[in-house]
Amino acid sequence: MALQRDHELHRRRLSMNLGVGLTLVALAALIFGITVVKIANGSLMEAYDHQPRVSELPVTEPTQ
């Protein structure tokens, strides 16, 4: 069967390609946003899991 340029098959593939493409762009934007917020909110973070650590906080001496 000869394929026409605008065969229904191509529309299905366009739907799939657009969907996957937009999903990947959205995921990249989301990860970028999470990174910006994490860095902006926490200068006292350890890098491996981006969680604040109490051990990193400055030691405060008890006052008399």
Q: Which residues bind other proteins (CB under 8 A)?
A: 1, 3, 7, 9, 12-13, 15-16, 18-20, 30-31, 33-34, 37-38, 41, 49-51
Contacts (Cβ under 8 Å, ≥6 apart) of 9: 3
The residue among 3 and 61 lying less far from other proteins, judged by its C-beta, is 3
* Residue 57 one-letter amino acid: L
- Nearest distance from C-beta of residue 64 to other proteins, angstroms: 33
Contacts (Cβ under 8 Å, ≥6 apart) of 44: 52, 53, 56, 57
The residue among 4 and 63 lying less far from other proteins, judged by its C-beta, is 4
- Nearest distance from C-beta of residue 39 to other proteins, angstroms: 12
Strand, helix or coil for residue 36: helix
